[in-house]
Chain A
Amino acid sequence: QSVLTQPPSVSAAPGQRVTISCSGGSSNIGNNYVSWYQQLPGAAPRLLIYDKNNRPSGISDRFSASKSGTSATLDITGLQIGDEADYFCGAWDTSLTAMVFGGGTKVTVL
Protein backbone atom coordinates (compact mmCIF):
# COMPACT_ATOMS: atom_id res chain seq x y z
CA GLN A 1 0.00 0.00 0.00
CA SER A 2 1.64 3.21 -1.19
CA VAL A 3 1.53 6.41 0.86
CA LEU A 4 0.62 8.35 -2.30
CA THR A 5 -2.39 7.10 -4.25
CA GLN A 6 -2.49 6.97 -8.02
CA PRO A 7 -4.89 5.25 -10.40
CA PRO A 8 -3.36 1.99 -11.69
CA SER A 9 -4.00 2.83 -15.32
CA VAL A 10 -5.33 5.43 -17.73
CA SER A 11 -5.74 5.26 -21.49
CA ALA A 12 -6.65 7.49 -24.40
CA ALA A 13 -6.30 7.72 -28.15
CA PRO A 14 -3.36 9.43 -29.86
CA GLY A 15 -3.68 13.20 -29.69
CA GLN A 16 -5.97 13.11 -26.70
CA ARG A 17 -5.26 14.20 -23.14
CA VAL A 18 -4.83 12.13 -19.99
CA THR A 19 -4.77 13.24 -16.40
CA ILE A 20 -3.08 11.31 -13.61
CA SER A 21 -3.95 12.10 -10.02
CA CYS A 22 -1.75 11.67 -6.95
CA SER A 23 -3.35 11.93 -3.53
CA GLY A 24 -1.39 12.24 -0.30
CA GLY A 25 -1.44 14.13 2.96
CA SER A 26 -0.17 17.18 4.78
CA SER A 27 3.13 15.51 5.69
CA ASN A 28 4.07 14.89 2.06
CA ILE A 29 2.30 16.60 -0.84
CA GLY A 30 0.71 19.22 1.38
CA ASN A 31 4.00 20.68 2.58
CA ASN A 32 6.78 19.39 0.34
CA TYR A 33 7.82 19.46 -3.29
CA VAL A 34 6.14 16.99 -5.63
CA SER A 35 7.98 15.39 -8.55
CA TRP A 36 6.70 13.32 -11.43
CA TYR A 37 8.68 10.56 -13.10
CA GLN A 38 8.28 8.61 -16.31
CA GLN A 39 9.59 5.08 -16.70
CA LEU A 40 9.53 3.69 -20.21
CA PRO A 41 9.61 -0.11 -20.60
CA GLY A 42 13.10 -1.42 -19.92
CA ALA A 43 14.50 1.99 -19.02
CA ALA A 44 15.42 3.85 -15.87
CA PRO A 45 12.99 6.42 -14.49
CA ARG A 46 13.47 10.01 -15.56
CA LEU A 47 12.30 13.29 -14.05
CA LEU A 48 9.38 14.89 -15.88
CA ILE A 49 8.22 17.67 -13.57
CA TYR A 50 9.51 19.09 -10.30
CA ASP A 51 8.15 21.57 -7.78
CA LYS A 52 4.89 23.16 -8.89
CA ASN A 53 5.28 22.81 -12.64
CA ASN A 54 8.91 22.93 -13.71
CA ARG A 55 10.29 20.80 -16.53
CA PRO A 56 13.93 19.81 -16.87
CA SER A 57 15.62 20.66 -20.11
CA GLY A 58 14.47 18.36 -22.90
CA ILE A 59 11.05 17.52 -21.46
CA SER A 60 8.18 18.36 -23.78
CA ASP A 61 5.70 21.05 -22.78
CA ARG A 62 2.98 18.48 -23.45
CA PHE A 63 3.67 17.46 -19.83
CA SER A 64 2.37 19.76 -17.11
CA ALA A 65 1.49 19.43 -13.44
CA SER A 66 -0.40 21.17 -10.69
CA LYS A 67 -0.91 20.86 -6.96
CA SER A 68 -3.82 21.73 -4.72
CA GLY A 69 -3.65 21.03 -1.02
CA THR A 70 -2.70 17.40 -0.54
CA SER A 71 -3.23 16.31 -4.14
CA ALA A 72 -1.24 16.69 -7.33
CA THR A 73 -2.04 16.11 -10.97
CA LEU A 74 -0.02 15.34 -14.08
CA ASP A 75 -1.48 16.21 -17.48
CA ILE A 76 -0.25 14.81 -20.77
CA THR A 77 -1.66 16.50 -23.85
CA GLY A 78 -1.29 15.48 -27.47
CA LEU A 79 -0.78 11.87 -26.40
CA GLN A 80 1.77 9.93 -28.47
CA ILE A 81 2.62 6.25 -28.76
CA GLY A 82 5.98 7.05 -27.19
CA ASP A 83 4.23 8.22 -24.04
CA GLU A 84 3.26 4.66 -23.15
CA ALA A 85 5.03 4.19 -19.84
CA ASP A 86 4.59 4.04 -16.10
CA TYR A 87 4.26 7.37 -14.33
CA PHE A 88 5.04 7.94 -10.66
CA CYS A 89 4.55 10.85 -8.30
CA GLY A 90 6.94 11.32 -5.41
CA ALA A 91 7.51 13.60 -2.45
CA TRP A 92 9.40 13.76 0.82
CA ASP A 93 7.30 12.79 3.83
CA THR A 94 8.24 14.83 6.87
CA SER A 95 6.50 12.52 9.37
CA LEU A 96 8.02 9.33 7.99
CA THR A 97 11.39 10.99 7.21
CA ALA A 98 11.28 9.10 3.95
CA MET A 99 10.69 9.70 0.29
CA VAL A 100 7.34 8.29 -0.76
CA PHE A 101 6.09 7.34 -4.20
CA GLY A 102 2.70 6.65 -5.65
CA GLY A 103 2.00 3.13 -6.81
CA GLY A 104 2.41 4.18 -10.42
CA THR A 105 0.01 4.70 -13.31
CA LYS A 106 0.36 2.84 -16.56
CA VAL A 107 -0.52 4.99 -19.54
CA THR A 108 -1.80 3.15 -22.59
CA VAL A 109 -2.27 4.79 -25.96
CA LEU A 110 -5.23 3.14 -27.67
Chain B
Amino acid sequence: QVHLVESGGGVVQPGRSLRLSCAATGFTFSGSAMHWVRRAPGKGLEWLAVTWYDGNKKYYADSVKGRFAISRDNSKNTLYLQMDSLRVEDTAVYYCARDRSWLGYYGVDVWGQGTSVTVSS
Protein backbone atom coordinates (compact mmCIF):
# COMPACT_ATOMS: atom_id res chain seq x y z
CA GLN B 1 0.00 0.00 0.00
CA VAL B 2 1.29 3.44 -0.95
CA HIS B 3 2.01 5.65 2.05
CA LEU B 4 3.54 9.06 2.59
CA VAL B 5 4.23 10.14 6.17
CA GLU B 6 5.36 13.68 6.91
CA SER B 7 7.20 14.73 10.05
CA GLY B 8 9.14 17.68 11.40
CA GLY B 9 6.37 20.22 11.85
CA GLY B 10 5.95 22.31 14.96
CA VAL B 11 5.95 25.83 16.35
CA VAL B 12 8.82 28.08 15.33
CA GLN B 13 9.61 31.78 15.66
CA PRO B 14 9.70 34.09 12.63
CA GLY B 15 13.08 34.07 10.93
CA ARG B 16 13.98 30.59 12.13
CA SER B 17 14.34 27.37 10.13
CA LEU B 18 12.59 24.02 10.02
CA ARG B 19 13.13 20.87 7.99
CA LEU B 20 10.22 18.65 7.04
CA SER B 21 10.63 15.02 6.06
CA CYS B 22 8.35 12.69 4.15
CA ALA B 23 8.89 8.93 4.33
CA ALA B 24 7.57 6.99 1.36
CA THR B 25 6.59 3.32 1.34
CA GLY B 26 4.73 0.95 -0.96
CA PHE B 27 6.03 2.17 -4.31
CA THR B 28 9.24 2.82 -6.22
CA PHE B 29 10.11 6.19 -4.76
CA SER B 30 13.01 6.75 -7.17
CA GLY B 31 10.61 6.52 -10.11
CA SER B 32 8.28 9.35 -9.08
CA ALA B 33 8.45 13.12 -9.02
CA MET B 34 7.47 14.51 -5.62
CA HIS B 35 5.79 17.74 -4.55
CA TRP B 36 5.26 19.80 -1.42
CA VAL B 37 1.88 21.53 -1.09
CA ARG B 38 0.48 23.49 1.84
CA ARG B 39 -2.86 24.74 3.06
CA ALA B 40 -2.96 27.76 5.34
CA PRO B 41 -5.93 28.35 7.66
CA GLY B 42 -8.86 29.72 5.69
CA LYS B 43 -7.00 29.45 2.40
CA GLY B 44 -6.83 26.98 -0.47
CA LEU B 45 -4.13 24.58 -1.58
CA GLU B 46 -0.83 26.23 -2.47
CA TRP B 47 1.81 24.38 -4.42
CA LEU B 48 5.34 24.96 -3.16
CA ALA B 49 7.87 22.86 -5.01
CA VAL B 50 8.55 19.77 -7.10
CA THR B 51 11.60 17.60 -7.63
CA TRP B 52 12.11 15.22 -10.52
CA TYR B 53 12.48 11.51 -9.84
CA ASP B 54 16.27 11.80 -9.74
CA GLY B 55 16.47 15.16 -8.00
CA ASN B 56 18.17 16.77 -10.99
CA LYS B 57 15.43 19.33 -11.62
CA LYS B 58 13.52 21.39 -9.07
CA TYR B 59 10.90 24.09 -9.45
CA TYR B 60 9.53 26.45 -6.82
CA ALA B 61 6.59 28.75 -6.26
CA ASP B 62 7.57 32.41 -6.23
CA SER B 63 6.32 32.72 -2.64
CA VAL B 64 9.05 30.40 -1.34
CA LYS B 65 11.81 30.71 -3.93
CA GLY B 66 15.10 31.46 -2.22
CA ARG B 67 13.77 30.51 1.24
CA PHE B 68 12.67 26.88 0.83
CA ALA B 69 14.61 24.00 -0.69
CA ILE B 70 13.22 20.66 -1.77
CA SER B 71 15.47 17.61 -1.86
CA ARG B 72 15.25 13.84 -1.84
CA ASP B 73 17.30 10.84 -0.81
CA ASN B 74 16.26 7.94 -3.01
CA SER B 75 18.39 5.54 -0.98
CA LYS B 76 16.24 6.36 2.06
CA ASN B 77 12.91 6.80 0.18
CA THR B 78 12.60 10.20 1.81
CA LEU B 79 11.63 13.67 0.61
CA TYR B 80 12.66 16.83 2.43
CA LEU B 81 11.68 20.47 2.61
CA GLN B 82 14.20 22.83 4.18
CA MET B 83 12.40 26.00 5.22
CA ASP B 84 14.49 29.04 6.12
CA SER B 85 13.58 32.61 7.05
CA LEU B 86 10.13 31.49 8.09
CA ARG B 87 7.34 34.06 8.18
CA VAL B 88 4.04 34.19 10.00
CA GLU B 89 2.31 33.66 6.65
CA ASP B 90 4.06 30.30 6.27
CA THR B 91 1.77 28.91 8.97
CA ALA B 92 -0.04 25.99 7.34
CA VAL B 93 -0.42 22.25 7.10
CA TYR B 94 2.28 20.93 4.79
CA TYR B 95 1.67 17.92 2.58
CA CYS B 96 4.08 15.86 0.56
CA ALA B 97 2.55 14.35 -2.55
CA ARG B 98 3.49 11.96 -5.31
CA ASP B 99 3.17 12.89 -8.96
CA ARG B 100 1.80 10.40 -11.47
CA SER B 101 4.93 10.87 -13.57
CA TRP B 102 8.66 10.98 -13.01
CA LEU B 103 8.90 14.63 -14.10
CA GLY B 104 6.09 16.25 -12.12
CA TYR B 105 3.76 17.37 -14.89
CA TYR B 106 0.89 14.92 -14.62
CA GLY B 107 -0.61 15.84 -11.26
CA VAL B 108 -0.65 14.43 -7.76
CA ASP B 109 -2.18 11.04 -7.10
CA VAL B 110 -1.13 10.31 -3.52
CA TRP B 111 -1.02 12.69 -0.56
CA GLY B 112 0.48 12.37 2.90
CA GLN B 113 -1.55 13.12 6.01
CA GLY B 114 0.19 16.46 6.51
CA THR B 115 2.32 18.06 9.21
CA SER B 116 1.41 21.34 10.88
CA VAL B 117 3.79 24.30 10.94
CA THR B 118 3.03 27.35 13.05
CA VAL B 119 5.23 30.40 12.78
CA SER B 120 4.66 32.67 15.74
CA SER B 121 6.61 34.79 18.19
Contact = CB atoms under 8 A, between A and B. Distances in A.
Interface of A: 2, 32-35, 37, 39, 44-47, 50, 56, 86, 88, 90-92, 97-104
B45 A56 contact: no
Interface in B27-77: 35, 37, 39, 44-47, 50, 59-61
A97 B109 CA distance: 19
B108 A47 contact: yes
Given A45-B45, A97-B59, A33 B95 contact: no
Nearest to A86: B44
A43 B113 CA distance: 7
Interface in B64-121: 95, 100, 104-114
Interface centre among B44, B50, B114 (most CB of A within 10 A): B44
Contacts of B108: 35, 37, 45, 47, 90, 99
Contacts of B45: 37, 39, 45, 88, 90, 101, 104
Contact of A35 (B107, B113, B114): B107
Contacts of B100: 50
Q: What range describes how many residues of B lie at the interface?
A: 20 to 34
Contacts of B37: 45, 99
Contacts of A35: 107-109
A98 B111 contact: no
Contacts, number: 67
Contacts of A88: 44-45
12 contacts: A35-B108, A45-B45, A47-B110, A50-B100, A50-B106, A56-B109, A90-B47, A90-B107, A90-B108, A92-B104, A98-B59, A102-B44
A7 to B, nearest CB: 13
B47 A50 contact: no
Contact of B107 (A2, A39, A91, A98): A91
Nearest to A32: B105
Contacts of B46: 101
